[in-house]
């Protein structure tokens, strides 16, 4: 410890007299648990420090030890330290860790938290400088959108050209870049034309009138205050004597400026991060911030950490193999002393339900310790998904087998806003007495039926002792509302009657009906027109909801299932397996990790491939790296050969990232349930990729054989094993129908097949609805996408 005392003496001399007069406590055992590089980062208290290092190398541990060191040595008091983390969970964790390291509970640490949490606190103190009162309200997204809509209408702009949600997204982007309306550069404004900037300015003015701000303002206002009020900035530069930032690679421009302003005087800023884990580019994060650190803070101590303490060699090698595919990276060497252990396990499944079933069994086996491995507690297992809609299959499965789980970083599937809305429509289709459901959807999507209209409906219902749907009917008949609202209400009542009749007549499959309800009510359209980053996810969730219906006889049965799930909602004590998105898993670690859904189009996501090209793909690859490096001992990657969308099978290609896994560190568990040693005709017509769909079947076949993934060692191994063991065919495959997406290919007279009604001939075509004379079920109108050509149906390899 001699080097420690020298440094300590140096630091003591650098401290102000008032501090040096304080009694000092001796350094705790926290230093002993660190390697040399980490210790160097902890001890270099003054001046800028950058820890740029790979996953699991103990960056967060070093950062936390640094806080402990600052406090224990009396170099800083808790209130002198500004420590920023990315999530509330991480902030709580950090506070606890500091406490543990010091062997006592930490009093205070008022400035340890997320950017937003810290900025709210600051802004309350200085609100008046920006024209707000200190009791300002923070708007949620709904309020924000409503406000924007009012402004758009007031400006006489066509709402269709400037959908409020699109505007919200644009403004949010500007705020992430710390651009106030007067600072939006012409080039940027040009892309959205000057109107966007004018609306932004009007929106900001209106927020001030309302004594309100939105989420993005919290940082933006603080940056503005620091930039325009030197006295305030200087006060905080003096107060926050030491600044620490975790996950620095994911800061956006506003956060970066805020930090730079605060650190400008004393430069006691320690940032830790990993360029390979930058996964928030889509939200305005700039990985460049971390790469620029040494320019921003010349003379910075740069600490390299290379030993990974989290994962076994196989897991680390697999992660390194994948991330090596990225061009734009610094490149780091990582090693671990944890030699041996399980290789990364890879398994292909027939479909997503099969994947969920297998993972459920695997989790139970690990829990019992029957995998030839040590027992693993449920708390120590996690399923990390790319898209939140993937959670549905796991939640349904785990509820069925009674496996306790928790969803981290978001509501559980059936608690999501869009799912509750959609379910309310379904409930009303089944029972028109469901007043709660009616209240939920009467003005969702917006129908001009505000509080007043709802009161009129309620009054009509109460006076006549009938349900709200009946009340609405009375309002329509007696014309108790004016103009647009009345017309819309009439349409809604019509729709509800129609859907209710369809539920009873069972004319369509309940999946078709569900889809029809969501379309005809305008609910799907509402999210399609929504330009916020969450909207595509919500649409995916709706698709997933319709898919879930497939497991039930009818809507009623499904609603009962969900009601039971909701009843289970009360939090139970005890061990639980965690389900979360890869994004939410940042910084966390688990002994056993499952990574399902590694299929092109899902992961990497279709959008990242379509829209952002190489940049998007590289961010997805970093996400894969984050996923694998969460695992300590067991990492299982899986994919499904088929996914069902709207009850139709679509084949999926294994993710390109699978092919990038280094062979020596991967063990292939079982063959995928594929036919004839390749993707059978089953999948061909319904490829997930629209581009592929356009190609003819034989082309595809050829492509599939030529594609790298099929020639990869991993794939060949899959095939070889498959032949050895014979390919089991899951039961569900029997219900398989092919998605013939080429709707336009149908003409009258075509012979077609429908899952429920069997074979028939097309008699008429109206948009995407077809009149079909079915051999057995008679004449019916059905949605085109539920139909396949009869000869294609014959090809289904049952």
- Partner whose binding site includes residue 754, from ligand ATP, Mg ion, none (CB under 5 to 8 Å by kind): none
Give a three-class secondary structure readout of 226-238: HHHCHHHHHHHHH
Residue closer to ligand ATP by CB (options 102, 704) is: 102
- Residue 594 token pair: 């499952």
Residue closer to ligand ATP by CB (options 34, 106) is: 34
Closest CB 67 distance from Mg ion, rounded Å: 14
Site for ligand ATP, residues 52 to 91, rule: CB under 6 A:
55-61
Q: How many residues bind Mg ion (CB under 5 A)?
A: 2
CB 57 within 8 A of CB 307: yes
Binding characters for ligand ATP, 600-629, by CB under 6 A (x = yes): -----------------------------x
333 is in an annotated binding site: no
Closest CB 53 distance from ligand ATP, rounded Å: 6
Residues 6+ apart with CB under 8 A from 485: 447, 448, 449, 453
Altogether, the residues listed in the chain come to a count of: 798
Does residue 282 bind ligand ATP (CB under 6 A)? no
Backbone conformation region of residue 317, classed left if phi is above 0, alpha if psi is from -120 to 50, else beta: alpha
Closest CB 770 distance from ligand ATP, rounded Å: 52
- Partner whose binding site includes residue 541, from Mg ion, ligand ATP, none (CB under 5 to 8 Å by kind): none
Element (H, E) at 633: strand 631-645
DSSP, collapsed to helix, strand or coil, labels residue 643 as strand
Residue closer to ligand ATP by CB (options 126, 386) is: 386
623: number of CA atoms within 13 Å, CB side? Answer: 25
339 is in an annotated binding site: no
686 is in an annotated binding site: no
Residue closer to Mg ion by CB (options 60, 541) is: 60
Please say if 630 is a catalytic residue: yes
Residues 6+ apart with CB under 8 A from 6: none
Cα angle, residue 767 at apex, residues 536 and 647 outer, rounded to 5°: 50
d(CA 84, CA 483): 53
d(CA 441, CA 531): 21
Please say if 277 is a catalytic residue: yes
CB 648 within 8 A of CB 786: yes
- Residue 651 token pair: 């084949």
CB 555 within 8 A of CB 429: yes
Closest CB 239 distance from ligand ATP, rounded Å: 27
Residue closer to ligand ATP by CB (options 38, 638) is: 38
Site for Mg ion, residues 5 to 64, rule: CB under 5 A:
60
Q: Which stretch binds ligand ATP (CB under 6 A): 49-57, 446-454, 465-473, 634-642?
A: 49-57
Closest CB 533 distance from ligand ATP, rounded Å: 24
Please say if 60 is a catalytic residue: yes
Nearest to 540 by CA among 627, 656, 548: 548
Residue closer to ligand ATP by CB (options 274, 286) is: 274
Residue closer to Mg ion by CB (options 555, 626) is: 626
Signed CA dihedral, 482, 485, 490, 496: sign only: negative
Binding characters for ligand ATP, 20-39, by CB under 6 A (x = yes): -------------xxx--x-
Residues 6+ apart with CB under 8 A from 512: 782, 783, 786
Q: Tell me the residue number closest to ligand ATP, measured at CB.
A: 58
Closest CB 247 distance from ligand ATP, rounded Å: 7
d(CA 612, CA 621): 13
Backbone conformation region of residue 247, classed left if phi is above 0, alpha if psi is from -120 to 50, else beta: left
Please say if 124 is a catalytic residue: no
Residue closer to Mg ion by CB (options 60, 648) is: 60
58 is in an annotated binding site: yes
Site for Mg ion, residues 758 to 797, rule: CB under 5 A:
none
CB 715 within 8 A of CB 709: yes
Closest CB 583 distance from ligand ATP, rounded Å: 13
- Partner whose binding site includes residue 61, from ligand ATP, Mg ion, none (CB under 5 to 8 Å by kind): ligand ATP
CB 277 within 8 A of CB 249: yes
- Partner whose binding site includes residue 43, from Mg ion, ligand ATP, none (CB under 5 to 8 Å by kind): none
Residue closer to Mg ion by CB (options 587, 627) is: 587
Residue closer to ligand ATP by CB (options 321, 587) is: 587
Q: How many residues bind ligand ATP (CB under 6 A)?
A: 18
How many helices and strands (H and E) does the chain possess? 35, 21
Binding characters for ligand ATP, 292-311, by CB under 6 A (x = yes): -----------------xx-
54 is in an annotated binding site: yes
177 is in an annotated binding site: no
Residue closer to ligand ATP by CB (options 204, 629) is: 629
d(CA 370, CA 129): 64
What is residue 327's DSSP assignment?
Answer: S
Closest CB 60 distance from ligand ATP, rounded Å: 3
Give the residue, chosen from 485, 587, 686, 714, that forms a contact with Mg ion under the rule CB under 5 A: 587
Greatest pairwise CA separation for the chain in angstroms: 95
Find the catalytic residue in 38, 75, 87, 277.
277
d(CA 275, CA 622): 9
- Partner whose binding site includes residue 34, from ligand ATP, Mg ion, none (CB under 5 to 8 Å by kind): ligand ATP
Site for ligand ATP, residues 220 to 279, rule: CB under 6 A:
274, 277
CB 595 within 8 A of CB 344: no
Please say if 458 is a catalytic residue: no
DSSP, collapsed to helix, strand or coil, labels residue 460 as helix
What number of other Cβ atoms are within 10 A of residue 725's Cβ?
10
- Partner whose binding site includes residue 552, from Mg ion, ligand ATP, none (CB under 5 to 8 Å by kind): none
Please say if 247 is a catalytic residue: yes
Site for ligand ATP, residues 579 to 598, rule: CB under 6 A:
587, 589
Find the catalytic residue in 8, 38, 39, 59.
59
- Partner whose binding site includes residue 38, from Mg ion, ligand ATP, none (CB under 5 to 8 Å by kind): ligand ATP
53 is in an annotated binding site: yes
673 is in an annotated binding site: no
Exposed / middle / buried, residue 158 (Cβ in 10 Å: 0-12, 13-18, 19+): exposed
Closest CB 574 distance from ligand ATP, rounded Å: 23
Kindly report the backbone phi and psi dihedral angles of residue 145, in degrees, each rounded to the nearest multiple of 5, phi listed first: -65, -40
Element (H, E) at 137: strand 137-138
Closest CB 618 distance from ligand ATP, rounded Å: 18
Find the catalytic residue in 11, 217, 247, 396.
247
- Partner whose binding site includes residue 33, from ligand ATP, Mg ion, none (CB under 5 to 8 Å by kind): ligand ATP
- Partner whose binding site includes residue 392, from ligand ATP, Mg ion, none (CB under 5 to 8 Å by kind): none
DSSP, collapsed to helix, strand or coil, labels residue 783 as strand
Rg of the chain over Cα atoms, rounded to whole angstroms, equals 29
What number of other Cβ atoms are within 10 A of residue 326's Cβ?
18
Find the catalytic residue in 8, 172, 246, 488.
246
Q: Where are the beta strands (DSSP E) in 238-325?
A: 242-245, 269-273, 301-303
Q: How far is CA 742 from the centre of its chain?
A: 31
Find the catalytic residue in 19, 60, 456, 509.
60
Which ranges constitute the DSSP H helices of 576-711? 606-611, 613-628, 656-659, 681-684, 690-694, 697-706, 708-711
DSSP, collapsed to helix, strand or coil, labels residue 427 as helix
Binding characters for ligand ATP, 312-331, by CB under 6 A (x = yes): --------------------
Which of the residues are catalytic?
59-60, 246-247, 277, 630
Residues near Mg ion (CB under 5 A): 60, 587
Residues annotated within a binding site for ATP: 53-60
Residues within the interface to ligand ATP (CB under 6 A): 33-35, 38, 55-61, 274, 277, 309-310, 587, 589, 629
């Amino acid at each position: 410890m001699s080097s420690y005392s020298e440094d300590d003496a140096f630091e003591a001399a650098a401290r102000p007299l008032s501090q040096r007069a304080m009694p000092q406590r001796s350094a705790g055992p926290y230093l002993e648990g660190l390697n040399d590089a980490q210790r160097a980062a902890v001890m270099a208290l003054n001046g800028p420090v950058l820890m740029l290092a790979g996953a699991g190398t103990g960056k967060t541990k070093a950062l936390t030890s640094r806080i402990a060191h600052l406090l224990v040595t009396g170099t800083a008091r808790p209130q002198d330290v500004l420590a920023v983390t990315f999530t509330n969970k991480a902030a709580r964790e950090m506070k606890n860790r500091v406490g543990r390291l010091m062997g006592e509970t930490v009093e205070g640490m008022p400035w340890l938290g997320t950017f937003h949490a810290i900025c709210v606190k600051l802004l309350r103190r200085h609100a008046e400088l920006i024209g707000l009162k200190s009791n300002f309200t923070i708007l949620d997204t709904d309020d924000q959108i409503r406000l924007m809509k009012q402004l758009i209408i007031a400006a006489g702009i066509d709402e269709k050209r400037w959908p409020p949600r699109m505007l919200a997204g644009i403004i949010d982007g500007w705020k992430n870049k710390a651009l106030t309306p007067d600072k939006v550069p012409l080039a940027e404004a040009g892309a959205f034309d000057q109107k966007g900037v004018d609306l932004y300015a009007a929106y900001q003015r209106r927020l001030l009138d309302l004594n309100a701000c939105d989420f993005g303002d919290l940082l933006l206002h603080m940056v503005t205050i620091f930039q325009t009020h030197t006295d305030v900035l200087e006060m905080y530069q003096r107060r926050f004597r030491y600044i620490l930032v975790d996950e620095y690679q994911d800061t956006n421009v506003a956060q970066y400026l805020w930090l730079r302003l605060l650190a400008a005087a004393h430069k006691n800023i320690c940032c830790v991060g990993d360029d390979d884990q930058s996964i928030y580019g889509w939200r305005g994060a700039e990985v460049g911030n971390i790469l620029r650190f040494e320019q921003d803070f010349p003379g910075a101590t740069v600490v390299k950490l290379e030993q990974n303490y989290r994962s076994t060699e196989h897991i680390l090698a697999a992660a390194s193999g994948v991330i090596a595919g990225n061009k734009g990276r610094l490149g780091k060497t990582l090693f671990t002393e944890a030699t041996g252990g399980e290789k990364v396990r890879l398994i292909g499944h027939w479909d997503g339900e099969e994947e969920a079933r297998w993972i459920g069994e695997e989790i139970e086996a690990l829990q019992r310790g029957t995998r030839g491995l040590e027992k693993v507690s449920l708390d120590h297992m996690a399923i990390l998904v790319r898209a939140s809609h993937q959670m549905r299959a796991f939640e349904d499965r785990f509820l069925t087998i009674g496996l306790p789980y928790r969803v981290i970083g978001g509501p559980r599937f059936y608690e999501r806003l869009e799912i509750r809305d959609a379910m309310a429509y379904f409930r009303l289709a089944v029972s028109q007495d469901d007043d709660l459901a009616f209240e939920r959807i009467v003005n969702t999507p917006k129908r001009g039926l505000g509080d007043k209209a709802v009161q009129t409906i309620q009054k009509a219902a109460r006076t006549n002792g009938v349900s709200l749907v009946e009340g609405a009917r009375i309002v329509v008949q007696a014309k108790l509302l004016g103009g647009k609202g009345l017309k819309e209400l009439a349409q809604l009542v019509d729709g509800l009657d129609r859907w209710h009749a369809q539920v009873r007549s069972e004319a369509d499959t309940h999946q078709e009906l569900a889809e029809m309800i969501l379309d005809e009510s305008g609910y799907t359209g509402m999210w399609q027109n929504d330009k916020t980053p969450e909207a595509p996810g919500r649409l995916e969730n709706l698709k997933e909801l319709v898919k879930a219906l497939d497991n039930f006889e009818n809507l009623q049965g499904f609603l009962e299932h969900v009601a039971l799930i909701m009843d289970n909602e009360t939090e139970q004590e005890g061990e639980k397996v965690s389900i979360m998105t890869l994004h939410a898993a940042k910084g966390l670690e688990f002994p056993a990790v499952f990574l399902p859904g590694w299929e092109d189009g899902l992961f990497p996501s279709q959008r990242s491939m379509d829209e952002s090209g190489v940049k998007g793909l590289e961010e997805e690859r970093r996400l894969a790296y984050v996923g694998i490096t969460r695992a300590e001992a067991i990492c299982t990657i899986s994919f499904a050969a088929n996914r069902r969308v709207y009850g139709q099978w679509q084949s999926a290609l294994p993710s390109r990232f699978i092919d990038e896994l280094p062979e020596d560190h991967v063990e292939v568990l079982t063959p995928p349930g594929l036919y004839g040693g390749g993707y059978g005709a089953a999948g061909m017509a319904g490829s997930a990729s629209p581009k592929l769909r356009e190609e003819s079947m034989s082309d595809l076949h050829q492509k599939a054989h030529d594609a790298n993934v099929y020639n990869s060692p991993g794939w060949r191994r899959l095939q070889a094993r498959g032949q050895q063991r014979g390919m089991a065919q899951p039961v569900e495959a029997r219900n398989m129908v092919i998605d013939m997406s080429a709707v336009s290919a149908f003409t009258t007279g075509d012979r077609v097949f429908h899952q429920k009604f069997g074979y028939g001939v097309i008699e008429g075509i109206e948009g995407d609805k077809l009149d079909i004379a079915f051999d057995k079920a008679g004449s019916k109108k059905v949605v085109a996408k539920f139909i396949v050509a009869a000869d294609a149906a014959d090809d289904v390899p049952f």
